[in-house]
Structure 1
Amino acid sequence: MNIRKVEGVQSQVVLTQPESEMGFPGSSLTLKCACSGFSVGSAYMHWIRQAPGKGLEWIIYYYSEFWASKDSSNLYLHMTQLKTEDTAVYYCARETVSGDTAGLYNNCSSTSHTEGH
C-alpha cells in the first residue's frame, strides 16, 4: 500500500489507496480511497489523475464514464468503458478551507493500467 501523509496540524488525516489496479479497454473498474482521521461523508473530496507525460487533471467533472461515491470512511471512483488513454496515476484528495483560501490537504496515488487484448 502507498501512504502519503502531509505533516502539520492535521497530521492524523490519512488517505490510503492500493498501489496498482488493472483494467482493460471496454471494462469497468472501481478505485477505492480509504480515509482515516476525518469523516469522508462531511468532506469535499476530489479525484484527480495524471497520465504519463501530462499535467494533473480533475476528472470527475469532465468524464461521463466516471462517477464517484463515498461512505463514512471511503471514497470510490467508478470507471466504465475504459480506454487505453485512461492509463494514469489517479489521486484522491481532501479539500480544506482556510480563511478565504481553499486547497488540497492530502493525496495518495493509485496507478491504473489499461491494456489492449
Structure 2
Amino acid sequence: QVQLQESGPGLVKPSETLSLTCTVSGYSITSGYGWNWICQPPGKSLVWMGYIWSDGGTSYSPSLKSRIFISRDTSKKQFSLKLSSVTTEDTAT
C-alpha cells in the first residue's frame, strides 16, 4: 500500500519561499513513475504545479516555471517542492 505524508509550514508570508516535502512509504520513488505536486485554490479546480520523474527529471507548469523547483532525496524516499516569491494569489491547499 502506497502512502504519502506531506510536511511543511501551513502558512508563509508574501515574498517568502514555500517549502513542502512528501515522504513516500510502500513504494520506491525510483520505480518508473512521476510524482506530481497538485494544489487546489479556494473554490477552484485542482491545479497541476509540476512533477519529478523516477530518474530525477522534472517538468513544471509554465505559469510557475520561474518560481518552482522540485527535487528528491532517494535515500529518504522524499520529494520536495519549493515555490519562491509567493503572493496571496498562490493561496491553496
**Coarse TM-score class (shorter-chain normalised):** 0.7 to 0.9
Q: Could you say which residue in structure 1 is the equivalent of 2:7?
A: 18
Give 1:18 deviation, angstroms.
3.3
Tell me, yes or no, if structure 1 residue 28 matches structure 2 residue 17. Answer: yes
Give 1:82 deviation, angstroms.
0.5
Q: Could you say which residue in structure 2 is the equivalent of 1:109?
A: none
Q: Could you say which residue in structure 2 is the equivalent of 1:71?
A: 73
Q: Which runs of 5+ in 1 are unaligned?
A: 1-11, 90-117
Give 1:48 deviation, angstroms.
0.5
Q: TM-score, normalised by structure 2?
A: 0.75
Query: 2:90 and 2:27 mapped to 1: Cα distance?
Result: 30
Bigger Rg, which one: 1
Identical columns (%)? 36
Matches within 5 A, 1:69-108: 69-72=71-74, 73-89=77-93
Q: Secondary structure at the match of 1:21?
A: coil
| 1:12-69 Cα deviation digits (max 9, x unpaired) | 2100113852211111121011110111133311010100000011112221211211
CA RMSD of aligned residues (A): 1.6
- Which AA in structure 2 matches 1:35? V
Q: How many residue pairs were aligned?
A: 78
Query: 1:41 and 1:21 mapped to 2: Cα distance?
Result: 28
Q: TM-score, normalised by structure 1?
A: 0.61
Q: Which runs of 5+ in 2 are unaligned?
A: 51-59
Q: Could you say which residue in structure 1 is the equivalent of 2:36?
A: 46
